[in-house]
Structure 1
Amino acid sequence: MAAYHEAGGTAARLDDESEAEEESIIGRLTQELLARPEFRAAGTESGRRRVARAYLASPDCDQGPFDGLPSVLGYHATRQAIDRAMAAEQRHYAGAEQRIPELARQIAADPDYRAARTAAAREHRLRDHLIAQTDGYQPPIRILDLLLDALATGHTSGPDRGSMLPFASD
């Protein structure tokens, strides 16, 4: 990656020795972003980008070695963190659709879910349960919908194959 620093509104190329330092800074910022629960839970690229911008501008961000370095480093770190978060999210939810009955049983046994009295509260509890099981990553809408359906219809023992058969003709 090309190394630059901002001086008087223009970007000047830094020497090659700075490139390793830039990579180190980008790597550290990427890890800091991935460690933030709100970054992982954002669920969309634009949401994660907003969280990253807010964090990188906040006093919580480790500003020490980043003083005077260009915003392009923050951009690269954000891009890497978003890519890694999307891959991790996909890994966490891979195969979840095949495990709907098992997941529905787990969630139905959750006291917080059972205490929810409204459909909206149940959906929030379902989402909270899944997020807690997946290192803070938001579940895909499809998984939420399928789980809500399984919980509402009581299909927690396995797929109902009978409903998929064609009607018998008279």
Structure 2
Amino acid sequence: MALEKVYDYFHNYDRQTYQVVACMGNEPSEHDIKKFEHQYGINLPADFREFTMSPLGGLYMEVREEIWPRAKQYDIGPFWSFCRGIIVYGIANGIPDFLDIREKTKELHDEGFTGFIPFLSIIGNGDEIFCFDKDNNIVLLDCYTTGEAAPVEGAFSDCLMKQIAELEERKNKKIRGEDKNN
């Protein structure tokens, strides 16, 4: 199963390093998913549907502040040094708006990007968002600079694990102090 690596990772992740919040116990039903799909005339990819209906759906994962202090106004650093976490949008009832795929999709469509369903963002990178296009291909949509969508290889689970690996790499660079001006 494609999501096994994702589930294995979250069974063993470093709880001292990461703050992780998900719908746990408030998972959406098949009816909730179908209602969303019907609203936008889509069928979500099977692995995303499974993830969304799991306790991890509506995922917020961030390096803890004591390890990666938040930037203060006017802080300067390499771009990566502001990208301290990931969000996977979900459909759970009562999910906060910033994690709700319904809210994020409406926002994106209101901005004119009607051919896309957003599913993953990097905290600290407000310009780009991972989306499913009308054919369920994964694209990285540059919402605010170019408006272009670049294809991303692989399935949802591959994309998520790649973003987790990149977050781990950024966290390690931050711990090593590689974001400091010399």
Q: TM-score, normalised by structure 1?
A: 0.24
Higher strand share: 2
Higher helix share: 1
TM-score, structure 2 as length reference:
0.23
